[in-house]
A = this chain, B = another copy of it.
Amino acid sequence: MRPDAPQNADTVAGVGEFGLIRRVTQGRIQPPSTLLGPGDDAAVVAAPDGRVVATTDVLVEGVHFRLDWSTPEQVGRKAVAVNMADIAAMGATPTALLVGLGCPADTPATLVDELSAGMWQEAAVAGAGVVGGDMVTCETLVISITALGSLNGAAPVTRAGAQVGDVVAVCGRLGWAAAGLAVLGRGFRSPVAVVGAQRVPEPPYAAGPQAAAAGATAMVDVSDGLLADLGHIAVASGIGIDLRTDLLEVHPRLQDVASALGADPRHWVLTGGEDHALAATFPDPRGVPEGWRTIGTVRHGSGVTVDGIAYEKPAGWEHWR
């Protein structure tokens, strides 16, 4: 806690750790998978097929979000969405979330309320519960979320199963969050569609288990950029991937934004992260499920090419690079 931090009732210091925990958990309705919710040393969550899928993502103010660009509620939704997208990318359904929150002592308690409201809202989209967490003093606002999920008897869809001859398909938006970031970075607040996509991604959670059921051989969520994340599948599967420009739809809205900013919308589509679309490989073009768009094929070799050619610009986001 900062020595000069106000101790008044409106700050996290004033409300205190236990008071805050009460505020963010009281009256919340848990899904049936929450066998024991918040308030004890640990939670107990159903794992009906004897396995649990688990993933962690950490979001830092100024790195992953800005409170002058997004409301706390939007940040809460995004923090949950990026984690649940990883669960979906295994072919699983999100069941539960644990939230670690670090914030300065003089943080308004309402900020925590709003963050929490956003988290519960996004959790509800996928039917998950917020089952536990921890709140601590930290000079930087940090949100660490762990998402759990259930495969419901299916095999996990890893990054390592893509086979030469498979088709590559995506479900969800590509390039929208990157377009929103470009807009916000220039000081604009509209168009709302792309700015909203940057603030709160809309991962197609149900498309994960859908792809698993349709026989997807490999799957990933597009968090670092399409080329970067398909590159992970290429490395893990020991194959190459070729994308076809004519199959990569650039939405007219993105075209408009790109024209206004003098940017290349295809670059957003190929390298923009944070939309958390799902990308997967399927053995049979006719087996690609409804709602998915075929964008390329799995080939011999390595790396990800576009129309057979290496893409030259930086392929995606890596921390500290």
State the A residues within 8 Å of B (CB). Answer: 1, 11-18, 35-36, 39-60, 62-64, 86-87, 89-90, 92, 96, 98-102, 105, 131-140, 142, 144, 146-149, 151, 156, 158-160, 219-221, 236, 318-321
Contacts and interface: CB of A to CB of B under 8 A. Distances in A.
A84 to B, nearest CB: 10
Residue of A52, A90, A100, A159 most packed against chain B (CB within 10 A): A52
Given A138-B60, A158-B36, A47 B44 contact: no
A64 to B, nearest CB: 7
Contacts of A137: 60, 63, 319-320
Contact of A51 (B17, B35, B138): B35
Count of this chain's copies in the oligomeric assembly: 2
Nearest to A12: B320
Nearest to A86: B41
A253 to B, nearest CB: 28
B100 A320 contact: no
A60 B141 CA distance: 11
B17 A138 contact: no
A275 to B, nearest CB: 15
B100 A56 contact: yes
A95 to B, nearest CB: 9
Contact of A56 (B53, B55, B98): B98
A134 B98 contact: no
A221 B105 contact: no
Given A42-B149, A60-B138, 15 more contacts: A41-B87, A42-B53, A42-B86, A45-B52, A47-B52, A50-B50, A58-B100, A58-B135, A58-B144, A59-B136, A62-B139, A63-B136, A102-B142, A139-B139, A139-B140
Contact of A64 (B55, B136, B142, B159): B136
B50 A43 contact: no
A54 to B, nearest CB: 5
29 contacts: A13-B321, A14-B320, A17-B318, A35-B51, A35-B156, A36-B156, A39-B236, A41-B86, A41-B90, A42-B54, A42-B147, A43-B54, A43-B55, A44-B51, A44-B151, A45-B51, A46-B51, A47-B47, A50-B50, A52-B148, A54-B131, A56-B99, A58-B138, A59-B136, A60-B136, A60-B137, A136-B319, A137-B319, A144-B144
Contacts of A92: 42
A146 to B, nearest CB: 4
A54 B96 contact: yes
A18 B58 contact: no
Given A58-B101, A134-B56, A44 B90 contact: yes
